[in-house]
Amino acid sequence: MIKKRLFTPGPTEVPPEVLIEMAKPIFHHRTEQFREMFGQTTEGLKKIFMTDNDVLTIAASGTAGMEAAILCACRRDKKVLVANGGKFGSRWVEVARRANLDVDEVKIEWGTAISPETVHDKLTSGDYGAVIVVHSETSTGTVCDIQAIAKEVSRTDAILIADCITSLGALPLRTDEWGVDIVVSGSQKALMMPPGLAFVSVSQKAWNIIETITPPGVYLDLKAYRKSLAKNDTPYTAAVSLIRGLRVAIEMILDIGLETIWERTAKLAHATRSAAQAMGLKLFSSQPSDSVSCIWLPEGVSDSQFRGILKDRFGCSVAGGQGDLKGKVFRISHMGYVDPIETIGLIAAIEYALAECGIAVEIGRGVSAAAKVLKDWK
């Protein structure tokens, strides 16, 4: 009878309105009914991406969106700059290497982000076809200044590919205004959907490169998705029930308005950081992302005991650390369908879990700090 709640930075909670929509009977994807619906989700996604570019929907996880960008938009005759400051930066490096690209990996200390200056220096000293950055590095809870980075890249012939999997719909992201050529995202984060859909927006500058490249394989060929999109269609079988749910989720998001959602997400993150400080906990990142908070576990606290109490006693799933951070940090999502009620409740559960793990916390300090920040929630 434990009430379960996902505070993991993906998958996140899915609203009942979306779940109910997805439970409705399936219909065929090669129908006018589907095309009409798919046209609506594409239009909605363009608003969320803040772009007039094509936004392609692939029935796959976010990683497929990453690989599609690598395979289709990275020239073989030039280098690709990949900023790696965490687990997802590493994944981009891995995908790019597997594609036999000439990868220039910029290793960044975990918890920090690549600077626009580094991008500038790299671009002026080498011949790059693409720059790949992770906007919000989920493994470390770190955000980069993608607007300034885009400015640097747009001055060159290179394109900017941004992993916005835990930023789209959570953090300010103005694709066209800032000039981000390729934005990759997924369904199971701030879009309040189950996993299963990857989204890729592509600028004209990027299409000009994509047109010159024949990727190995068919499923991740972005040109095929663009061609079908012209008829509000998909090249391969669409995940109909996910698209159904997506239409409802997008409607909910646009009803509130993107700016309001950004503010809310930032407010929940701020409250969590204030609570962490009040509890004597330290944030991992020096450039914290508002979509996911990565917090050091105090010395001597067992990760499995700590997160076990949160999950088994209070129904709250938070994420552990990844890679080198395994067992050392925990991570809380502020994306999508989460609110002050549950965030404040989670803080209380964290206080209880810390106390049970032997840490001297004054119960009530964290929740009180979080409550103060969330006072003017709108």
Q: Binding to a second copy by residue 318, rule CB under 8 A?
A: no
Nearest to 78 by CA among 180, 204, 212: 212
C-alpha 288/C-alpha 292 separation (Å) is: 8
Q: Which helix (H) or strand (E) holds 259?
A: helix 258-278
Query: What separation in angstroms does the CA of 81 have from each of 21, 53, 75, 128, 221?
Result: 41, 23, 12, 7, 22
- Contacting residue, 280, 298, 315, 327, with a second copy by CB under 8 A: 315
Least distance to a second copy from the beta carbon of 339, Å? 5
Half-sphere exposure of 188 (CA within 13 A, CB side): 17
Half-sphere exposure of 57 (CA within 13 A, CB side): 30
Burial class (CB in 10 A: 0-12, 13-18, 19+), 144: buried
- Contacting residue, 49, 128, 284, 337, with a second copy by CB under 8 A: 337
- Contacting residue, 99, 213, 252, 266, with a second copy by CB under 8 A: 252
Least distance to a second copy from the beta carbon of 365, Å? 7
Q: Which helix (H) or strand (E) holds 200?
A: strand 197-202
Write the interaction track for a second copy spanning residues 347-366; mark x where CB under 8 A is met and - where it is not: -xx-xx--x-------xxx-
- Contacting residue, 256, 302, 308, 326, with a second copy by CB under 8 A: 256
**Span from 97-105, 122-130, 220-228, 339-347 in contact with a second copy (CB under 8 A):** 339-347
Give residue 359's Cα distance to chain centre: 32
- Contacting residue, 32, 77, 255, 299, with a second copy by CB under 8 A: 255
Write the interaction track for a second copy spanning residues 8-37; mark x where CB under 8 A is met and - where it is not: -------x-------x--------------
Q: Which helix (H) or strand (E) holds 143?
A: strand 142-143
Least distance to a second copy from the beta carbon of 210, Å? 35
**Span from 74-82, 144-152, 283-291, 332-340 in contact with a second copy (CB under 8 A):** 332-340
Q: Please report, as ranges, the residues that interact with a second copy according to CB under 8 A.
A: 1-3, 5, 15, 23, 252-253, 255-256, 313-316, 337-346, 348-349, 351-352, 355, 363-365, 367-372, 374-375, 377-378
